[in-house]
Structure 1
Amino acid sequence: MTTQVIIDRRFCGPPNSGNGGYVCGLVGGLLASEAEVTLRRPPPLDTALDAEIIDNNRVRLLDRSDLVAEGRCDPVEFDIPFCPSFEQARLASESYSGYDRHFYPTCFVCGPARTPGDGLRVFAGPMPKRKAVAAPWIPDPSLADRTGRVKAEFLWAVLDCPGYFAVNTDRHRHMLLGQMAAAVHHRPRPAERCVVAAWQSGSQGRKHFASSALFSETGRLLGKARTTWIALEPPDATF
């Protein structure tokens, strides 16, 4: 089965391509509540893309003959070591490094140049006494579907960018998302106060691995993700 996908310019990461977490969420959402998606090239904006669903457990996102991303059903299993309070996340976000320097200040998820109601404005800052980052998040009404709950692809997006700030400890290394696996357990309603946290889970050469979790204000686990970040060479390289 083939369906069409268009990534609206609102949902950019770099100025001319889609935010990685959002795109992974679109692709993964065609399969199941738990999936792994690998990005193969920068996802183009405002372009009709073909999503080929194969045997209900794999999907390929194509720009004509070019492979943009591919996904597969995959369980996402790892332990969640802590759950910050909303106030702890708010305090951590005050030290968000992206305020001072940001490779993509118009990123839909973490760009400080995006206005409230337009961008997600997830500003994950370091937590005291933990090798982790956290941020508060209050979903905008524009993110909801007809059921009144936030669409799953936006939860993938929220789980994405904090991982970058968890692994990019020197604050000046340029990385982009290469792969993401996420599980969405519960979708919040707009205006519900949420908390996202992320921490580094390893590295191998230019690859850096993070885990992230999204909670309700009361500590209910809404979703979790594993992300793989690729350090660009040279450090200031761009797509």
Structure 2
Amino acid sequence: MTDFETITVPGHLSGYPGVAFGGYVAGVLAARADAKTVRVDFRRPVPTEAPVRLAPTADGGVELVDGELLLATASPAEPPVDAPGPPSWELASAAAEAYRAAPPDGMVDCFGCGLHRTPDTGLRLHCGRVSDAPLVAAAWTPGPALAGGDGLLPPELVWGALDCPGNAAGRLLDGRRAGAVTAALTARLLRPVPVGAGLVSYAWLLGGEGRKYRVGTALATADGDLCALGEALWVEPRAQS
């Protein structure tokens, strides 16, 4: 990319109402950065259904702006933390079913984890607590409508699969409040991800202080082969006074 380009995030690709799904936005930026591992930092909410501008930066990255406002930046990064082995398909399925049976409060119609999304209209990352490990996980199968022209899950949606599990890790493993947002997401894509095959998204806690907490996230095949690896910083909303 040698000059700026304008993009508009469709309305159905939302996280919170009117706000673009962070994992998708991160993937769009990462695809335009000159690196295998990319860190995306969010400065402000990215709107849906409104044109915003992408422009290259001197360090091989890219920035997203709305007029004079900086929304997000992407830059080359060190590889994220190593992942623990993924839970089995059976354990991840049980965790997802438990989540759907008793979801935490404050759920919204998110493209990544919304409960009313179908396999063709969302990722359905319903990450519940895994019974025998300090993990949250979801077993899921993306629908045909999510595939790119090559029959694979587009890279920006692979990035998306590394986003919402971090929220679930904070809620279910660390007692965090509803409404947290992704402040930064670092990821490395390891292999193509076919659509129509079973996948396991999972996350684990790395640490936290105050309203901030860090998580590791990963995406694997149902057979346990790692497809993508991420590390994210999340920020809780301020407590109501």
Q: What TM bracket, shorter-length normalisation?
A: over 0.9
Share of identical aligned residues, percent?
Answer: 29
Deviations, residues 91-130 of structure 1 (Å, cap 9, x unaligned): 1112217853443421000011223311111100001132
Corresponding position: 1:143 with 2:146 = yes
- Map 1:1-239; keep pairs closer than 5 Å: 1-31=3-33, 32-55=35-58, 57-96=60-99, 99-168=102-171, 169-170=174-175, 172-234=177-239
Q: Displacement of 1:67 after TM fit?
A: 0.8
Q: Displacement of 1:43 after TM fit?
A: 0.5
**Structure 1 232/131 Cα, relative in aligned 2: closer, same or farther at 3 Å?**
same
**Structure 1 99/28 Cα, relative in aligned 2: closer, same or farther at 3 Å?**
farther
Aligned length: 236
**Structure 1 196/235 Cα, relative in aligned 2: closer, same or farther at 3 Å?**
farther
Q: Which runs of 5+ in 2 are unaligned?
A: none
Q: Runs of 4+ in structure 1 displaced over 4 angstroms?
A: none
For the aligned residue pairs, the C-alpha RMSD in angstroms reads 1.8
Aligned residues of 1:13 and 1:104 also touching (Cα < 8 A): no
Deviations, residues 211-234 of structure 1 (Å, cap 9, x unaligned): 011101121110011011101112
The one-letter amino acid paired with 2:30 is G
Aligned residues of 1:21 and 1:159 also touching (Cα < 8 A): yes
Separation in structure 2 between the aligned mates of residue 171 and residue 28 of structure 1, nearest angstrom: 28
Q: Displacement of 1:173 after TM fit?
A: 4.1
Q: Displacement of 1:36 after TM fit?
A: 0.2
**Structure 1 148/207 Cα, relative in aligned 2: closer, same or farther at 3 Å?**
same
My pick for the range that moved more, 139-148 or 205-214, is 139-148
**Structure 1 72/197 Cα, relative in aligned 2: closer, same or farther at 3 Å?**
same
**Structure 1 94/130 Cα, relative in aligned 2: closer, same or farther at 3 Å?**
same
Q: Which runs of 5+ in 1 are unaligned?
A: none
Aligned residues of 1:36 and 1:182 also touching (Cα < 8 A): yes
My pick for the range that moved more, 72-81 or 45-54, is 72-81
TM-score if structure 2 supplies the norm length? Answer: 0.91
Separation in structure 1 between the aligned mates of residue 146 and residue 20 of structure 2, nearest angstrom: 16
Separation in structure 2 between the aligned mates of residue 206 and residue 171 of structure 1, nearest angstrom: 9
SS in 2 for 1:12: coil
TM-score if structure 1 supplies the norm length? Answer: 0.92
Deviations, residues 49-105 of structure 1 (Å, cap 9, x unaligned): 110012461211011111111110113232222221111100111221785344342
Aligned residues of 2:109 and 2:117 also touching (Cα < 8 A): yes
The one-letter amino acid paired with 2:116 is A
